[in-house]
Amino acid sequence: MAGFVRGHPTLAEHVVIRDPSCVGVGKDVYFGVGCYLHDKAQIEIGDMTHFGPYCVLYGPLLIGNGCCIGANTVIAARQQHPNCPLDEAFATYGQDIRLIVIEDNVWIGANVTVVPGITIHTGAIVGAGSVVTHDVPRNAVVAGVPARRIRWREDRELP
d(CA 131, CA 34): 21
Told to judge if 81 belongs to the known catalytic residues of this protein, a careful annotator would answer yes
Q: What is the C-alpha separation between 98 and 112, in angstroms, rounded? A: 18
Q: Among the options 14, 38, 50, 81, which is catalytic?
A: 81
Beta bridge partners of 152: 140
Q: Letter for the amino acid at 105? A: N
CA 13 centroid distance within chain? 20
Catalytic residues: 81
